[in-house]
Amino acid sequence: MSTSVVIAVAALWGAVAGALLPRAVYRFSVPSGEAWRDACPGGHRIGAWIGPARCGACDVPDAGAGAGTGKGADRGTGADLDLDKDADRGTGTGADPGTGADLYKDADAAPGAYGPGAPLIAVATAFVCAALAAATDTRPELAVWLLLTPVAVLLTVVDFRVQRLPDVLTLPLAGAALVLLGLVALVPEHAGDWPTALWGALALGGGYFVLFLINPGGMGFGDVKLAVGMGAVLGWYGWDTVMLGTFAGFLFGALYGGALVVVRRAGRKTAIAFGPFLIGGAFVGLLVGAYAA
């Protein structure tokens, strides 16, 4: 299979997977301590976790706010699905937790639509998958990157919206990265090293844990758990890739925070969601590591 075909297939996968994320983004986008949303803003119960963020009942004129919610519905929170006890609290202290909360909101949404717009997320996911395919070519670890990318995009959008990195996403991401890379290590023509991926996960997770202990108000524990998964994927291509991805993440976060200060949308102690920059740094590290492998 040629590289161009691989890139096209990866982009198509990313577009389809990204288009199915808006509903999950909406359901996960709640402040720390709140249960996941199980109803649309109009109070109608949401069924599945993936799919477009659009409520058919809200399309009907004068639909009752409580229609379809079922017994005990509470305008968008589910009482029994919140498994996240250690949410990300962003970077900085004295935070305004709403910084970046309106990013990805579809201002021209159709009636009944809620959450972020599917086209933007689909395009972003397709771009990331295509770039990883171009860098990795036909090597077997590409399958791992493509499977993990939608979860990483979901975490990025949720963290930007509410500064939260749910355990039900970060912990399986870390476990899946290590397990899948362990299987890929058994396949010929791979270009990475599984033991280094394991050590990279422990090293990056441990480093972020130290930062959390030093300044728990500035580094959320969700970032620590996310760092384990990012350390695994970066470690696959070696320690140089781990260092590059880590540096890129902090650089992106610093540039973003500095830009907010310059335009007076934040102060020096305003918290920002760091998860997207941790993921962005890992993306850059993976691209460079894959090209160099």
User: SS3 for 239?
Assistant: helix
Helix (H), strand (E) at residue 174: helix 167-184
Would the CA dihedral through 59, 63, 64, 68 be positive or negative?
A: negative
Sign of CA dihedral 291, 289, 249, 116: positive
Among residues 201, 146, 211, the alpha carbon closest in space to that of 174 is found at 201
**H or E element at residue 175:** helix 167-184
Q: Provide the 3-class DSSP secondary structure of residue 61.
A: coil
Spatial separation of the C-alpha atoms in residues 12 and 262, rounded to whole Å: 38
Distance of CA 22 to the CA centre of its chain: 12
The pLDDT value given to residue 259? 87
Q: What is the pLDDT of residue 218?
A: 76
Q: Is 242 helix (H, G, I), strand (E, B) or coil?
A: helix
Tokens 């409580």 locate to 66
Tokens of 293: 């492998």
In single-letter form, the type of residue at position 71 comes to: K
Report how far residue 84's alpha carbon sits from residue 87's, in angstroms, rounded to the nearest whole number: 6
Mean pLDDT, consecutive 10-residue stretches, the chain (293 aa), reads 91 96 92 86 85 75 43 39 43 38 44 78 96 96 97 96 93 97 95 96 97 85 96 97 97 89 75 91 97 90
Rounded CA-CA distance 211/218 in Å is 8
Tokens 């986008």 belong to which residue?
Answer: 29
Q: Give CA–CA dist 257/280, Å, rounded.
A: 15
Say how many residues make up the chain.
Answer: 293
Query: Which residues does residue 113 pair with via DSSP β-bridges, in sequence order?
Result: 54
Cα–Cα dist 115/26, whole Å: 5
Compute, in degrees rounded to 10, the torsion defined by CA atoms 189, 190, 193, 197: -170
Q: For position 59, what pLDDT does the model report?
A: 65
The structure tokens listed for 86 are: 């250690």
